[in-house]
Amino acid sequence: MYSRTESVTPAALTEHRARSGLSDFSTDRRVLFLCALTVPIGVFAALVAKALLWLIAVFTNAAFFLRWSAEPVVLTGQYFGGWGVVVPVIGGLLIGLMARFGSEKIRGHGIPEALEAILLGRSLVNPRIAFLKPVSSALSIGTGGPFGAEGPIIVTGGALGSLFAQLFHLTSAERKTLLVTGAAAGMTAIFGTPVAAVLLAVELLLFEWKPRSLIPVSLAALVAYGVRGPLLGIAPLLTVTPHAQLAPRLLAVALGVGVVTGFISGLLTRLVYLCEYGFARLPLHWMWWPA
């Protein structure tokens, strides 16, 4: 430790923190600047989430009901005959064209692309991704694709965060933090789950539990959650009917269902990769794969 009579220089303090093992968990005023940037990122992510859901509703109404409307619709129980087969094929053709002539980066599930940008691309994301990814995803979902909004909003929110970082010429580490803040804010805005979004960001994108990144990410999620209210409303993601405490027998059944579901999820993952490898062996350009 340093005595009170010693002059402590910044370099000496940094060296002391490194020796004490706390350097990775320390922070400085720079985090305040990152927090200031996360506020508009959270707002924009919420607006993008609203636009994504609006586009999904518009494409669904236009493709299946041949009408211009942004009212959310449910396709469950509807019968479209042969049109129900033609519409997804047309949507796949359009998405293939967007990927080939717009940006190949819109291909994929969403989260792996964000991981690739962080691990291999120094958290740099092409500005076109922020526009093409939500449009192509909304078109895919709206034309009957069996997909969700979590992957697209993670990529789009991450692209927004990366663009903010590039605009202010931040370091690679700071770009990663802002990319993840955008992804977490987008997840929060879509699903209304700020805590889950932050935990997902830590597990899959941040790879660390440190104040210098956790504080901005948490702030962005809270901002997006606050903006989500007037845009999309505040409601539970999943509603559970109140019931009495489950009997031990039912709890045992639930435990068994959880174990079986875990194995099924592993099998599903393998089947997805098997299908991707199968498509790669086809004598066709990947532009035609979605159709």
* CA 208/CA 23 separation, integer angstroms: 13
Cα→Cα distances 153→96, 131, 233, Å: 19, 11, 18
Q: What is the pTM of this model?
A: 0.78
What residue spans define the domains of the chain?
25-237, 240-291
The per-type count for the chain, helices as H runs and strands as E runs, is: 10, 0
107 within 8 A of 99, measured Cβ to Cβ: yes
124 within 8 A of 162, measured Cβ to Cβ: yes
Q: Could you read off the pLDDT tens digit of each residue along the chain, which spans 291 residues?
A: 444 444 556 555 455 444 444 456 667 788 888 899 999 999 999 998 899 889 999 999 999 988 898 888 888 888 888 888 899 999 999 999 988 888 787 777 667 777 777 767 677 777 777 788 888 888 988 888 887 777 788 888 888 888 888 888 888 888 888 889 999 999 999 888 899 999 988 888 888 888 888 899 999 999 999 999 888 888 777 788 888 888 999 999 999 999 999 999 999 999 989 998 999 999 989 899 888
Question: Of the candidates 132, 166, 123, 168, which has an alpha carbon nearest to the alpha carbon of residue 55?
Answer: 132
CATH class for the region spanning 25-237: mainly alpha
* CA 81/CA 55 separation, integer angstroms: 24
Q: Length of the chain, please? A: 291
